[in-house]
Amino acid sequence: MVRIRLRRVGAKNKPVYRVVVADVHAPRDGSFIETIGYYNPITSPETVVIDEEKAIKWLKNGAQPSATVLTLLSKLSIIDKLKPSPKKRSRAKSTTKEKK
């Protein structure tokens, strides 16, 4: 199973995270399949850069985002592009019997 999650890089007390696609069993800072972006919580405002095409490709292929990555994808409205648009339903008028 593949997961989209954060990989910590940066100095002590100055974290910077890479958004990576990795195997579920790989350690947090261990091996990964592909880097699709980065997240810097130290800057004001927070810096979030994620390659939209790569993220959508991995999500369509079944990769599960972690809770934090799901929040970041929602902020960038990448999750909204993945969901199908709601279709208009044509409702047939219900026929009611008139009371006499």
Task: Pick 2-82's CATH classification: 3.40.1410.10, 3.10.450.50, 3.40.50.300, 3.30.1320.10.
Answer: 3.30.1320.10
* Whether the model pTM is above 0.85: no
- pLDDT tens by residue, 42-82: 999 999 999 999 999 999 999 999 999 999 999 999 988 87
- pLDDT tens by residue, 10-43: 999 999 999 999 999 998 888 999 999 999 999 9
pLDDT of residue 87 exceeding 70, the answer is no
Distance CA 46, CA 83 (A): 26
pLDDT of residue 100 exceeding 60, the answer is no
Could you tell me the residue ranges of all domains in the chain? Answer: 2-82
The alpha carbon of residue 51 and the mean position of all alpha carbons in its chain are separated, in whole angstroms, by 11
Q: Is-contact 16 37, C-beta < 8 A?
A: no
The whole-number pLDDT of residue 76 equals 92
